[in-house]
């Protein structure tokens, strides 16, 4: 008997794969169309940009004997809103934890995962001092993260109060008592500028300097708790000055440089966060005025990325410096 060969089947050709947008394409097209319509009726105008935060009231909020007048600024209002959001989230997590569920879900699950990740990171770096360092590290990181993310809400830095200005723009009525500035330059003294109700807190140098001072001062406090008075020997080292004069003099110079570096941390902490976040505001304003369609959305994604990175960098540097402060220095280190 002759063996029959199996039937050879040719492979089925699959149709070429096509890239599909899915349902998101309609949202993208809708936003593009709405942006084109909006910019055709209300042309984007370069906003008034200044480094100092703008006061919302003519009179100061409070006047203290030594400090002086404290105005109600838009960055202060934004900070209060962020505080309310964080307190509300913390209370929500607390309420959910009291329900007795072994598997947290929703916002509780997210924050438990975030806190657990941050604590493990602190424990791997600081060891037995993690419980002392973790509250400062986590608080600073979460606070800076939320202040950087909240400022990305649409209208956060563009809705406010109109004020007369020597060099301002004409205004156009939208409805009722709501006006918008229009493109062009008004006559001297007849123009308007917008003072936004809210402005990103990280763009206020007062906020970044305050965080830097807290970070650097608490680093010294934790260092003293860990090593006692011996901690200050890394700044003023006289232990080897008489035994080995040359090496002792070099140790003394290194200690002075260490002291200078502690003050330099305040400047680097403050201006790094302030510079990056304020430059983002300027970049968004310039791009929105020059290329108002679709491109500003890409800049907002970049702002989101930089906001997360800056919060992580500020918190991580604080945690690393605190962990280093708990360790001995040079020949004086002992177990």
Residue 101: predicted pLDDT = 66
Look at residue 165 and give its three-state secondary structure: strand
| In the block, residue with structure tokens 């400047």 | 267
- Cα separation, 212 vs 173, in Å, equals 44
Highest mean pLDDT among 43-57, 173-187, 200-214, 286-300: 200-214
At 44-89, the pLDDT tens digits run: 777 778 888 888 888 888 888 888 888 889 999 999 999 999 999 8
Residue 208: predicted pLDDT = 94
Residue 332: predicted pLDDT = 47
Quick check: 49 and 67 in contact, CB under 8 A?
Answer: no
Residue 335: predicted pLDDT = 40
Give percent of the chain above pLDDT 90: 27
Look at residue 64 and give its three-state secondary structure: strand
pLDDT band at 241 (very low <50, low <70, confident <90, very high): low
- Cα separation, 133 vs 128, in Å, equals 10
* φ, ψ at 161 (rounded to 5°): -110, 140
- Cα separation, 180 vs 174, in Å, equals 7
Look at residue 103 and give its three-state secondary structure: coil
By DSSP bridging, strand 191-196 and strand 160-165 are antiparallel
Which residues share a beta bridge with 173?
179
Residue 322 has pLDDT above 80, yes or no: yes
Highest mean pLDDT among 41-55, 63-77, 101-115, 309-323: 309-323
- Cβ burial, residue 78 (10 Å; 0-12/13-18/19+): buried
At 32-44, the pLDDT tens digits run: 777 777 777 766 7
With the C-alpha atoms ordered 77, 294, 43, 172, is the resulting torsion angle positive or negative?
negative
Q: Could you tell me how many residues make up the chain? A: 335
Return the domain boundaries, the chain: 35-63+73-158+200-332, 160-196
Report the range of poorest mean pLDDT among 56-65, 274-283, 288-297, 313-322: 288-297
* φ, ψ at 3 (rounded to 5°): -80, 130
Work out the average pLDDT over 238-244.
Answer: 68
E strands, the chain, where?
A: 62-64, 68-70, 160-165, 171-175, 178-181, 191-196
Report the range of poorest mean pLDDT among 35-44, 146-155, 225-234, 298-307: 35-44
What pTM does this model have?
Answer: 0.81
Measure the CA angle with vertex 47, ends 42 and 51; round to 5°: 165
Residue 334: predicted pLDDT = 41
Residue 280 has pLDDT above 80, yes or no: yes
Buried b (16+ CB within 10 A) or exposed e, 304-326: eebbeebbebbbbbbbbbbbebb
Report the range of poorest mean pLDDT among 7-21, 47-61, 187-201, 240-254: 7-21
């Amino acid at each position: 008997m002759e063996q029959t060969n199996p039937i050879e089947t040719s492979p089925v050709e699959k149709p070429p794969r096509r890239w599909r947008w899915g349902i998101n394409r309609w949202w993208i097209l809708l936003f593009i169309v709405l942006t084109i319509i909006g910019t055709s009726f209300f042309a984007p105008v370069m906003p008034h940009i200044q480094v100092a935060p703008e006061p919302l009231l003519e009179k100061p909020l409070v006047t203290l004997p030594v400090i002086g007048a404290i105005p109600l600024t838009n960055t202060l209002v934004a900070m209060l809103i962020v505080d309310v959001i964080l307190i509300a989230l913390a209370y929500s997590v607390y309420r959910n934890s009291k329900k007795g569920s072994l598997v947290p879900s929703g916002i509780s699950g997210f924050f438990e995962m975030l806190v657990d990740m941050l604590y493990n990171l602190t424990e791997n770096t600081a060891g037995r001092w993690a419980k002392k360092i973790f509250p400062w590290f986590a608080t600073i990181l979460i606070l800076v993260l939320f202040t950087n993310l909240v400022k990305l809400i649409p209208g956060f830095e563009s809705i406010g109060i109109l004020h007369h200005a020597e060099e301002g723009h004409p205004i156009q009525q939208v409805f009722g008592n709501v006006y918008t500035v229009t493109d062009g330059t008004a006559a001297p003294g007849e123009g308007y500028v917008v003072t936004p109700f809210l402005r990103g807190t990280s763009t206020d140098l007062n906020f970044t300097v305050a965080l830097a001072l807290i970070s650097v001062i608490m680093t010294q406090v934790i260092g003293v708790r860990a090593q006692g008075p011996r901690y200050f020997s890394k700044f003023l080292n006289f232990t080897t000055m008489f035994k080995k004069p040359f090496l002792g003099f070099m140790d003394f110079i290194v200690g002075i440089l260490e002291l200078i570096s502690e003050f330099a941390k305040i400047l680097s902490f403050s201006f790094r966060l302030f510079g990056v976040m304020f430059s983002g505001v300027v970049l968004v304003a310039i791009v929105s005025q020059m290329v108002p369609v679709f491109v500003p959305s890409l800049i907002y994604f970049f702002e989101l990325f930089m906001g997360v990175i800056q919060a992580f960098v500020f918190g991580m540097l604080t945690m690393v410096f605190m962990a280093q402060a708990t360790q001995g220095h040079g020949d004086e280190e002992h177990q």
